[in-house]
Structure 1
Amino acid sequence: MRTFVVFDLEFTSWQGALEQDWGAPGQLREIVQIGALRLREDFSVAEEFEALVRPVTNPGLSAYFTGLTGIDQDRVDREGVPPAEALGEFLGFCRGQSVLSYGNDMVVLGENLGWARARGEEVKSGFLPAHFLNIRPWLNSLAPATATSNVGRLWQVLGLPRPAAGQEHSALFDCHSLAAAIEHLCGTGATLPEGCLRRA
């Protein structure tokens, strides 16, 4: 059975950070939550991955971030794991797979991987055994109405049933929204980009 992975990240943010491309002093895109689904060819879920991560440079979450994601400081302090641990587990989950995101989340992943290694932390897995792909251009070209939508709203824009419990800007919910959008488009005759499906 061939499978592929869809993933989403939630990372530290502040009011206006997106518009400034996280350019203000001290603002880094530190991962706080990773969500991923391993999907079979029929788009059923073979496995889920979710990790909460404790940021290092900005360990205190902004009120803006908490309002956006619903992730509060107490939960991160209680359940969060060190970045190197979460990154290693996630990259292990992706090993040998095509890994799709709605946008360039792999860039943020690379930033966080670099910071962890610069701190002298060991990340058990790396990028090379996985094939990362931004699926957004493919999806937006097939469904132009999605062009201005964030990943967590894709299901709404396409008029699909709610794909899972939870809310947008929760990484795992956003993965379900992306998976539903991909399944819908493939169900109307679209074909995933070459190389997306690999033998599990």
Structure 2
Amino acid sequence: MSTLVLFDLEFTSWQGALERDWSAPGQLREIVQIGALRVREDLSVVEEYEVLVKPLVNPRLSTYFTGLTGIQQESVDRQGLPPAQALGEFLAFCRGQSVLSYGNDMVVLGENVGWARSRGEEVKNGFLGANFLNIRPWLNAIAPATASSHVGRLWRVLGLPKPVAGEEHSALFDCYSFAAAIKHLCAAGATLPQGCLLPPEA
């Protein structure tokens, strides 16, 4: 049976950064947490992936970011991986899979890979080994009530049981919310967009 990957990122942010599209000087979308699930076609989970990443341009997390995500500075300092290592490991996790996001997280991923390489760091593995797809437009079209919803809130908007312990804006919890929403919509008759499922040998 073929599998696919659902992923979500948490990245550095500040009050008003979203509205300004991170245009303030020095405010970059540096990845702090990656969460991902490898799932079967029936959306049952095969494997989890979760890692903290140490931002380099802004190594001190903003109080806004910590309040939003619950990610503590001490945890990142103690457990966080260097960006190039974390990115390479995640891309290895994605190799040979369709990789679905709720939004353009692959753009942020690409920014971070580019910054690491510009510093002269090696990012093992690349994007060509995986098929990245933003399926938020598909999901919002089928369930319009989700259009203004963050990925971690999808389960609540759709009236589903809480998928796992945790809260939104934690990358892995958000992946479970994403998976629950897709599973619910497919059970109601929706079909994932073309290209979401690759043959097992891909």
TM-score (norm 1): 0.99
Q: Equivalents in 2 of 1:73, 1:25: separation in Å?
A: 22
Q: Equivalents in 2 of 1:104, 1:47: separation in Å?
A: 23
In structure 2, list runs of 5 or more residues that go unmatched: none
Q: 1:63 maps to which residue?
A: 63
1:11-50 to structure 2, matched below 5 A, reads 11-50=11-50
Q: 1:3 maps to which residue?
A: 3
Q: 2:160 maps to which residue?
A: 160
In structure 1, list runs of 5 or more residues that go unmatched: none
What letter corresponds to residue 93 of structure 1 in structure 2?
A: F
Q: Equivalents in 2 of 1:50, 1:135: separation in Å?
A: 21
Deviation, 1:137, is: 0.2
1:69-84 to structure 2, matched below 5 A, reads 69-84=69-84
Q: Equivalents in 2 of 1:64, 1:9: separation in Å?
A: 16
Deviation, 1:41, is: 1.1
Q: 2:178 maps to which residue?
A: 178
| Residue aligned with 1:33, SS | strand
Deviation, 1:149, is: 0.4
| Residue aligned with 1:111, SS | helix
Give the RMSD, CA atoms, in angstroms: 0.6
| Residue aligned with 1:194, SS | coil
Q: Equivalents in 1 of 2:29, 2:191: separation in Å?
A: 33
What letter corresponds to residue 24 of structure 1 in structure 2?
A: A
Residue identity over aligned pairs, in percent, reads 78
| Residue aligned with 2:18, SS | coil
Q: 2:115 maps to which residue?
A: 115
CA deviation string 1:108-146 (max 9, x = no partner): 000000000000111111000100000100000000000
Deviation, 1:42, is: 1.4
What letter corresponds to residue 114 of structure 2 in structure 1?
A: G
What letter corresponds to residue 121 of structure 1 in structure 2?
A: E
What letter corresponds to residue 39 of structure 1 in structure 2?
A: V
Q: Equivalents in 1 of 2:41, 2:135: separation in Å?
A: 16
Number of residue equivalences: 200
Q: 1:95 maps to which residue?
A: 95
Q: Equivalents in 1 of 2:152, 2:195: separation in Å?
A: 25
Extract structure 1 runs of 4+ deviating beyond 6 A: none
Q: Equivalents in 1 of 2:28, 2:158: separation in Å?
A: 33
TM-score (norm 2): 0.98
Deviation, 1:195, is: 1.6
